[in-house]
Structure 1
Amino acid sequence: MISFFEKILNGQATDLQLSTAILVALFILLIVLFFALKPNNKKVKKRINRIVNTTHNTNIADKSLISIRRQTESSGSLKLDKIIQKLTPQPELLRDKMQKAGLQPNLGRFLFIIIAITILSFGILQLVTDYPIMISILFALIIGLIIPHLGLYFLKIRRHKKFLALFPDAIDLMVRALKSGLPITEAIKNSGEEIANPVGIELTTVTDGVKIGGKLPDELIKAQSRIGLQEFNFFTVALSIQTETGGNLAETLANLSDILRKRKQMQLKVKAMSSEAKASAYIIGSLPFIMFILIYFLNRPYAVELLTDPRGQFAIGVGLFMIVLGCGIMYKMVKFEI
């Protein structure tokens, strides 16, 4: 073991030994960060429970503050979040993306995911390619930064689709509750209890905010910032205007539900009309990869030459750029705003 470290320090280690040492060092750094910056929630919970048990004469407001403090202290890696907030150029934008994806805005957990993906990518690149150490580290950093953000994007798209599929039904439940004589806050609460997530949890959060003293328009604006959907913005504007001017809210929400369903029908119609162009884009974009895989299995040395030769690597880069550019143009051609 001593000779191994001496080889690394003297510059006599092979690329495999050097990459293994870097992987081990990164894993040790990851473990140290996790245990050093992880808050000790057990001590916090014991201290808060001791305060609650010893203060029997505490008023309701103080007990509420203690309860809020308990939830805040046990919510995540607070120390790590502070460090990441200093290192990240736009931490609030990243938190906003995580909320729209339906995740807790925990920057520390997001950092651990980036580090883990970077280490895994570096190990795979060292095993399957002959790139130098610095090139592999550069590519691993790029992969580690891109994949988590792509994951947030796809989670946001999936959450939005599920929200739009359930939101008209939630509005219909509110209309029935309003026609039966319930106030709007109770109607929203009933819809939140009956409709599945993510609609249910957002509506429940709105009514909980109203219960602790918030105004309904303000809570709806906060929910809109968490969701980021134009359809929910319609709902927010309708309730805000009705709160200020009055009117038949049940009829307004019924019209809004009908509009949302018609928008959904129009989107499905556009999707059906553009399906042929999308299928052509998928086929044309996947043909180069399919042909390379076939050539690789039929004549491996001929295909490997494209990866090892600098001219082949340059051709791969140009080809990937042209494929991405063409797919982007075709996506814009079949994308319609409704």
Structure 2
Amino acid sequence: MIVALVTLGSILIAVAIFLPKLSVEKRAGERMRGITAGAAVRNARTAGRNRVEESAKRRKNVQDTLKEIEDKTANKTRRKLTLSARLKQAGLKISKPMYFLLSFFSALIFVFIGFLMEVPPLLLLGFAFVGFFGFPGFMLNYLKNRRINKFTNDLPEAIDIMVRGIKAGLPLMDGMRLVASEAREPLAGEFRGIIDAQQLGVPMSEAVMRIHDNIPIPETNFFATVVAIQQSSGGSLSEALANLGRVLRERKKMRMKVKAISSEAKASAGIIGSLPVFVALAVYFLNPDYISLLFTTSTGHLILGGSLFWMFCGVMIMRKMINFEI
């Protein structure tokens, strides 16, 4: 009995001694857990604020870059193209004096054709005007459009080459060098221009925008915008270029579909537009006296001038109707 009482007393004494210590340790542990949880919450809030601020900063950089590109594009669009710019867009490496000399020879050829057709002197002035201004301008537009079509067809493959190079660990400039060495003209020449501009210290965004100056199409504007945004705000360039390549392929498919659908209308417009010319030539060779009144009388001159004017208006209207912008 005495032993049991002694044991019970010892237990009570031990509990009385160690219980306060256990309570203190428990409160300290709870306090530490509270401090740790509060620090974690504060860190999470700080990280969240940092992410929001970084996202807002990046969004602002993107908006500023887009605004700058839009302003530059609008200013260039409002400016009238110089003759040097038109020659560059057509891919012609000739000077302006050489262009005017070729235009002069073109005017002489048209005047000579007018002499062979025995047209009156007043119409010879029109032939000279067409030979000096109209035909060279038409050839510039034709060469420019042909160059743009070649560039547009090869651009998606060039972007794929750059994407594969970037994913393999190559810098963007090395991918562009690969395109400049492997692609066809005019794509290779335009990328060589970017590389040369970079070597002279021109910023990448400005160097890429020069492609849009030489090839003024939406595709080059898209490419310049993607590169400029990546240079200013960062991000995955390979993913952005891959998305751009996908968009360009879809635009190319749509363009081919529109071309196939409108081919019949273009053929009809060509036949309708050329039929009066062929009929006039046939009548001129079969019965020259019948059609000579158009060239020898003042009334015939008026009829011929009015007919040519309305034919020109009709051809332009048909051309506008069958050409679709994608």
Supply the distance in 1 between the matched residues of 2:150 and 2:286 (Cα, whole angstroms): 44
Q: Secondary structure of 1:274's match?
A: helix
Q: Secondary structure of 1:196's match?
A: coil
Q: Structure 1 stretch 264-273 or stretch 159-168: which is displaced more?
A: 264-273
- Structure 1 runs not aligned, ≥5 long: 1-89
Q: Secondary structure of 1:282's match?
A: helix
Supply the distance in 2 between the matched residues of 1:138 and 1:269 (Cα, whole angstroms): 40
Does residue 299 of the first structure (1) align with residue 290 of the second (2)? no
From 220, 242, 249, the counterpart of 2:230: 242
From 73, 80, 86, the counterpart of 1:97: 86
Supply the distance in 2 between the matched residues of 1:138 and 1:318 (Cα, whole angstroms): 14
Q: Secondary structure of 1:251's match?
A: helix
User: Which residue number corresponds to residue 175 of structure 2?
Assistant: 187
CA contact (8 A) 1:170 1:192 kept: no
CA contact (8 A) 1:96 1:105 kept: no
User: Which residue number corresponds to residue 68 of structure 2?
Assistant: none
The 1:108/1:124 distance shift into structure 2, 3 A limit, reads: same
CA contact (8 A) 2:197 2:207 kept: yes
| Structure with more relative contact order (C-alpha pairs < 8 Å, separation 6 or more) | 2
Deviation (angstroms), 1:127: 4.1
Deviation (angstroms), 1:317: 1.7
User: Which residue number corresponds to residue 160 of structure 2?
Assistant: 172
Superposition TM-score, scaled by structure 2 size: 0.71
Supply the distance in 2 between the matched residues of 1:259 and 1:250 (Cα, whole angstroms): 14
User: Which residue number corresponds to residue 185 of structure 2?
Assistant: 197
CA contact (8 A) 2:177 2:192 kept: yes
Q: Secondary structure of 1:181's match?
A: coil
Give runs of ≥4 in structure 1 deviating > 6 Å.
none
CA contact (8 A) 1:168 1:257 kept: yes
Q: Structure 1 stretch 220-229 or stretch 165-174: which is displaced more?
A: 220-229
Does residue 124 of the first structure (1) align with residue 97 of the second (2)? no
Supply the distance in 1 between the matched residues of 2:312 and 2:102 (Cα, whole angstroms): 26
Deviation (angstroms), 1:91: 9.6
Deviation (angstroms), 1:316: 1.9
The aligned length equals: 248
User: Which residue number corresponds to residue 150 of structure 2?
Assistant: 162
CA contact (8 A) 2:273 2:315 kept: yes
Supply the distance in 2 between the matched residues of 1:209 and 1:255 (Cα, whole angstroms): 26
Deviation (angstroms), 1:310: 2.2
Supply the distance in 1 between the matched residues of 2:312 and 2:101 (Cα, whole angstroms): 29
User: Which residue number corresponds to residue 254 of structure 2?
Assistant: 266
Supply the distance in 2 between the matched residues of 1:147 and 1:286 (Cα, whole angstroms): 17
Supply the distance in 1 between the matched residues of 2:212 and 2:321 (Cα, whole angstroms): 29
User: Which residue number corresponds to residue 145 of structure 1?
Assistant: 133
From 272, 276, 280, the counterpart of 1:288: 276
Supply the distance in 2 between the matched residues of 1:293 and 1:127 (Cα, whole angstroms): 14
Supply the distance in 2 between the matched residues of 1:236 and 1:139 (Cα, whole angstroms): 43
Superposition TM-score, scaled by structure 1 size: 0.69
**CA RMSD between the two structures:** 2.0
Does residue 213 of the first structure (1) align with residue 204 of the second (2)? no
Deviation (angstroms), 1:296: 2.4
The 1:252/1:130 distance shift into structure 2, 3 A limit, reads: closer
1:294-333 aligned within 5 A: 294-333=282-321
- Structure 2 runs not aligned, ≥5 long: 1-78
Supply the distance in 1 between the matched residues of 2:179 and 2:300 (Cα, whole angstroms): 59
Deviation (angstroms), 1:144: 1.2
Supply the distance in 1 between the matched residues of 2:125 and 2:279 (Cα, whole angstroms): 29
The 1:124/1:284 distance shift into structure 2, 3 A limit, reads: closer
CA contact (8 A) 1:99 1:227 kept: no
Letter in 1 for 2:262: S
Deviation (angstroms), 1:167: 0.9
The 1:297/1:108 distance shift into structure 2, 3 A limit, reads: closer
